[in-house]
Structure 1
Amino acid sequence: MAVSACGGDGKVGSNDNASSPAANAGSTSTSNTPTSIAISNAAAARFLMQAGMGATRAEIAQVQALGYSGWIDQQMAMPASQSRWDWLRSKGMDASEFRNSQAGFDSCAWKKLINSPDSLRQRICFALSEILVVSIEGLVNGGGWKAFAAANYLDLLEANCFGNYRDLLQKISTNTAMSLYLTYRGNTKYNPATGALPDENYARELMQLFSIGLVNLNQDGSVMTQNGAPIESYGLDDITGLARVFTGWDFDLSTSNTSTPDYHRRPLRQYPNKHESGAASFLGQNIPAGISGEEALKRSLDIIFAHPNLAPFISKQLIQKLVTSNPSAAYVARVSAVFNHNGQASGLNAKGDMKAVIKAILLDDEARNLNNTQLSHFGKLREPIQRFLAWAHSFNANSPSDLWRVGDTSDAGTKLGQSPLRSPSVFNFYRPGYVPPNTSIAAASLSAPEMQMVSESSVVGYVNFMQDIIDGTRGGNDLQADYSNLLLLADNPAALVGEINLLLAAEQLSNASVQTIQNAIASIPMTTTNSERAKYQRIYAALLLVLASPEFIVLK
């Protein structure tokens, strides 16, 4: 399914001009000047599905007016909405009775993803949460307040997702949630009496997952080899050396204790008596003895940040999250070059400029060229969360009670099989290089990362969950969608399916799929006694059939 769903008829509209360089004028401009080349409805919707949570008619018009680059600039300049932390506080979740529960976390996470107008910021925050992984389930031995710790971690990612990646590494490394999840909170120096060594967990994952990866990479993401074998980027000695740096870090309880969640909002504090003050070495570099724990951390992160693997390792994963699971080597190289230098700033800030990297990914010809929708290897499987959010965003789903009772949707058999910040391991819900075995995808030497979450149970569970969500009166959630625009089209199956095809699938449904869905909708009679109910039945059916179609599930 993932390699065959090309979408639509493969026709490029006359206003899209996808095959000519001029068509991508908006992809190279960094100004807010509207593009001189008209952007079709379908092209704008497709862009919004890569860059945000989904498409609405109003947002399509914005993209057409501002151009791709201008829309990105507008989104990046948009102020952040209420933080997850502050929402929890506003609901009284800091009362002592909630100290040892996760109550409120799912609600504040879904509220942001569904309701925030800064959809680009939320999309990048979500992508980063799947690279710099923390799971609320793993926040143990932290004095409680898991909901606040997890909310603060997402708030941190959101606040820094348009900043510099070096700063982000610094902030996650001194974050209470990360310190609990990867077990270095309270990590102490070598004890010669007991033989106890510093915990190596975070040192390992910081290199393996958050920065440079396991093997040396060329700038286009390809693996460096020696005598036919990949060259490892680090070894056990490097982990041991870096682990010494992550000693002496613990909660900052200088102005409060754990009877309130406030300590989770402050960075970790360095306790010198627990810090390993001797020299440390890793990645061929030395951290001298006798310097403070804060300085040792700074120098260590500088070493990691300077590693040549960082740009291709992170750039490729971000491309996979936003655009396509199998980007060309040239695409990765172009984004890596921007990651290494944004072309504007000087010094440290020239590297790791997330605004520049995000623009490079979304405005690249490989992302914007509509001819690529015809390539079997191009595109990505939408994660279950992203499928759900596409519906919620396109039809302005809201929670009248402001309680956002979507809940934990991790159960694959009855819900989405995925839920925000509830990854089953530090390796995320899926591996970026996952290849589904015994498939045409494997035979073509392609990867399909999100298919690691696909099973017989998850396919059925997703459809059943969406059926309940779409209706709004089933399933126990409190979301209400706005179908007023669809009600005007319910008498006309072709118009109804066409509108949903645009908003959810960027008009990528094949003619056969469109005709099948139209026939199904037309078979639902429009009764004179309860015409409004019949219209809603048609809307619900059309939405569900599009949401279940392979051309929607595979984002081209």
Structure 2
Amino acid sequence: MNTTPEQLATSHPINNPSLSTLPDERRHTILPLGLLAFLASCGGGGQSPNAASEPAGTPTQREAARFLLHAQFGTSYAEITEVKRLGFEGWLNKQMALPSSLSGWDWLKSKGYDAVDQNEFFFNDQPTNYMVWYQIMASPDQVRRRMALALSEFFVVSNQGIQLNWPGFAMANYWDILCQHAFGNFRQLLEAVTLSNAMGSFLNTLGNQKEDARSGRQPDENYAREVMQLFTVGLTQLNIDGSPKMGSNGQALETYTQQDVSQLARVFTGYVLDEDGPKFKSPVPPFFDILPIGYTRRPMRLVEGLHSPGVKSFLGKEIPANTSGTASLQMALDTLFNHPNVGPFFGRQMIQRLVTSDPSPAYVARVAKIFNNNGQGVRGDLAAVFKAILLDPEALDAASLKSNTFGKLREPMVRIAQWAHTFKVKSTRNTWKMGAPTWSAVESLAQSPLQAPSVFNFFRPGYVPPSTAMAATGSTAPEFQLVNESTVSSYINYLQSILQRGIWVRAPELAGNPKDPTSTDGPDIVPDYGFEYGLTDNADTLVQHLNLLLCAGQLSTQTVGHITDALRNESVSVSAPENALRNHVSRALLFVMCSSDYLIQR
């Protein structure tokens, strides 16, 4: 039987003097009466205590939480209240207007990763992991970072595939490009991505040269192929709703040919690093030549003499002979940007990343139309596109909650980012040395930001799990490409390794990973469960709390019952030692975060 808000309130020291003798370090767990009433109200449909006096159309707590978990990594009671006050669009407008917070590049520099010493950061790509996990775990502008992460799975560059000096800073600059342009225009983002050093290294634009008949050299076609196949137009011609256009033979019409690839490849020739000074010698043998770090923050530089001067014909566009490299690039990117496929091709994949794996054609069409025209005659307005995705009726209406075809498997890295934001993780040494959690077959997420195994991301947007009910209907579920017997168990093991005391870090007080026997290894990226400690003696309220913040109230009655019963088996008083409280809360989190109701987000 659920404890009433009034009964629950009197069980806490703030309202019961006989229980007010907790030590100082435990006093932060005491909960005020109003918040307890708020929590208790979440179990009955998500209405707040004064719901009757709220204006018509005001989101419920669960509706607000659901919206927030689409728009960013986590949620809180304060944010739920703010969404209820401002409404979905008002809250989103406010968040999108926030300036971008500390850049990844500046963060790395502030931590000393630009040092020229025996750590050899100019060769080390590990700082990329520290930077990007800090960005998605702790940056205050969650909405911008959430959209940047979605973009990173469309415009894929992997830390595993670049060969540059200062790779951490090159990848940080790439991440910063995605953050900077997240609410800008697709055309400007496409150009910034194309000219970035990281993309140049990853897909071979860097150092790509014009054709040479004497040697038989031809321009590298890698970027030309992928910028069409993956970043703009896709393989088949599309209707506005994302469905393929069919030819008279009943086959889908191709968007481009190999000839288009070869011709477009000539556009992406002549680009080199924009170096800003002479190389220096690394401080330890064998004393390699190293570039100054400044180039990592600038786009690639065009050397006109290395650019192909010939005619370039692709996708029905002809760039005349002897057009400058700069003008050729602008004309090529304009051609790609204005192709009718881009709206439905890009829009569908952003819906998949944020809301649902198999969006309806109508949903795709509505988003694509906004891409084509934001209502003010502007094409490619990303702020308008993301608003259209997050505010679409299918994303907000209760009807989709009852659908067996709506929703998505939460990506593993998004689950950990949500845990971090919900429980306000901190790095005790402020170094945030989060490794890429993909190495171990026993404790692994099988996913980490900016660490995709190839340019095709961690999974294909058209992936359909074989031998499933989804396969029978052809329903796409990209994230399930990460799911197998090993990853299911390794995810649970990973949670068990972090939920109780936090994320283990090697030498958390030092930059890099030096083999220093005096360093202190151990948990460094740690959660704050102080609020949850105050709920340990009431399983119903603890589960209601986690259900709202982690699942937007979407745990089924059966799942809630199972978890609540399990927690009641080991009842823990709020005055118990902190270790017992931590064990109880982490157990509750494990139950929730391993449940199918949590793993499938609607």
TM more than 0.5: yes
Structure 1, unmatched stretches of 5+, are: 1-8, 16-33
Is 1:547 the counterpart of 2:593? The answer is yes
Which whole-Å CA distance do the structure 2 matches of 1:45 and 1:509 have between them? 13
Which whole-Å CA distance do the structure 2 matches of 1:10 and 1:224 have between them? 47
Structure 2, unmatched stretches of 5+, are: 1-41, 49-53, 280-289, 506-522
Is 1:182 the counterpart of 2:203? The answer is yes
Shift in Å, 1:260: 2.1
Deviations 1:282-319 (A, max 9, x none): 00110111111000000000111111001100000011
Deviations 1:69-128 (A, max 9, x none): 011111111122211111111111112221111132211111110111111101100000
Query: Which residue is 1:294 aligned to?
Result: 326
Query: Which residue is 2:528 aligned to?
Result: 482
Query: Which residue is 1:378 aligned to?
Result: 406
Which whole-Å CA distance do the structure 1 matches of 2:206 and 2:548 have between them? 48
1:308 to 334, 340, 343: 340
1:382-531 alignment runs, 5 A limit = 382-411=410-439, 413-472=442-501, 475-476=504-505, 477-526=523-572, 530-531=576-577
Query: Which residue is 2:310 aligned to?
Result: 278
Query: Which residue is 1:333 aligned to?
Result: 365
Deviations 1:16-52 (A, max 9, x none): xxxxxxxxxxxxxxxxxx9852211111111111000
Is the alpha carbon distance of 1:327 and 1:10 closer, same or farther for their aligned partners in structure 2, counting shifts above 3 Å?
farther
Letter in 2 for 1:396: K
2:298 to 232, 243, 266: 266
Give SS of 1:286's match: strand
Deviations 1:376-428 (A, max 9, x none): 00000100001111111111111121111221112353121101100000000
Asked whether the equivalents of residues 158 and 451 of structure 2 are also in contact (C-alpha less than 8 Å), the reply is: yes
Alpha-carbon RMSD: 1.9
Shift in Å, 1:501: 0.7
Deviations 1:340-360 (A, max 9, x none): 00112x4xxx00000111111
Asked whether the equivalents of residues 166 and 305 of structure 1 are also in contact (C-alpha less than 8 Å), the reply is: yes
Letter in 2 for 1:358: F
Is 1:231 the counterpart of 2:253? The answer is yes
1:57-456 alignment runs, 5 A limit = 57-96=77-116, 97-140=120-163, 142=164, 144-226=165-247, 227-255=249-277, 257=279, 258-344=290-376, 346=377, 350-411=378-439, 413-456=442-485
Query: Which residue is 1:53 aligned to?
Result: 73
Query: Which residue is 2:21 aligned to?
Result: none
Is the alpha carbon distance of 1:11 and 1:331 closer, same or farther for their aligned partners in structure 2, counting shifts above 3 Å?
farther
Shift in Å, 1:473: 5.2
Give SS of 1:463's match: helix
Shift in Å, 1:533: 3.1
Which whole-Å CA distance do the structure 2 matches of 1:552 and 1:525 have between them? 24
Q: How many residues align?
A: 524
Which whole-Å CA distance do the structure 2 matches of 1:439 and 1:469 have between them? 32
Letter in 1 for 2:106: D
Asked whether the equivalents of residues 341 and 352 of structure 1 are also in contact (C-alpha less than 8 Å), the reply is: yes
Shift in Å, 1:525: 3.9
Q: Computing the radius of gyration over CA atoms, which structure comes out larger, 1 or 2?
A: 2
Letter in 2 for 1:547: M
Asked whether the equivalents of residues 56 and 395 of structure 1 are also in contact (C-alpha less than 8 Å), the reply is: no
Identity %: 44
Shift in Å, 1:527: 6.9
Which whole-Å CA distance do the structure 1 matches of 2:530 and 2:262 have between them? 60
Which whole-Å CA distance do the structure 2 matches of 1:13 and 1:82 have between them? 35
Which whole-Å CA distance do the structure 2 matches of 1:525 and 1:380 have between them? 34
Which whole-Å CA distance do the structure 2 matches of 1:240 and 1:461 have between them? 43
Which whole-Å CA distance do the structure 1 matches of 2:204 and 2:437 have between them? 26
Which whole-Å CA distance do the structure 2 matches of 1:532 and 1:86 have between them? 37
Shift in Å, 1:492: 0.3
Which whole-Å CA distance do the structure 2 matches of 1:303 and 1:474 have between them? 47
How does the TM-score come out when normalised to structure 2?
Answer: 0.84
Shift in Å, 1:12: 6.5
Deviations 1:241-260 (A, max 9, x none): 00000110111125565532
Asked whether the equivalents of residues 35 and 67 of structure 1 are also in contact (C-alpha less than 8 Å), the reply is: no
* Of 296-305 and 483-492, the range deviating more from structure 2: 483-492
Asked whether the equivalents of residues 414 and 464 of structure 1 are also in contact (C-alpha less than 8 Å), the reply is: yes
Asked whether the equivalents of residues 45 and 62 of structure 2 are also in contact (C-alpha less than 8 Å), the reply is: no
Which whole-Å CA distance do the structure 2 matches of 1:270 and 1:555 have between them? 45
Bigger RCO of structures 1 and 2 (CA < 8 A, at least 6 apart): 1
Shift in Å, 1:208: 0.2
Which whole-Å CA distance do the structure 2 matches of 1:363 and 1:289 have between them? 46
Deviations 1:499-524 (A, max 9, x none): 00111011111111111111111111
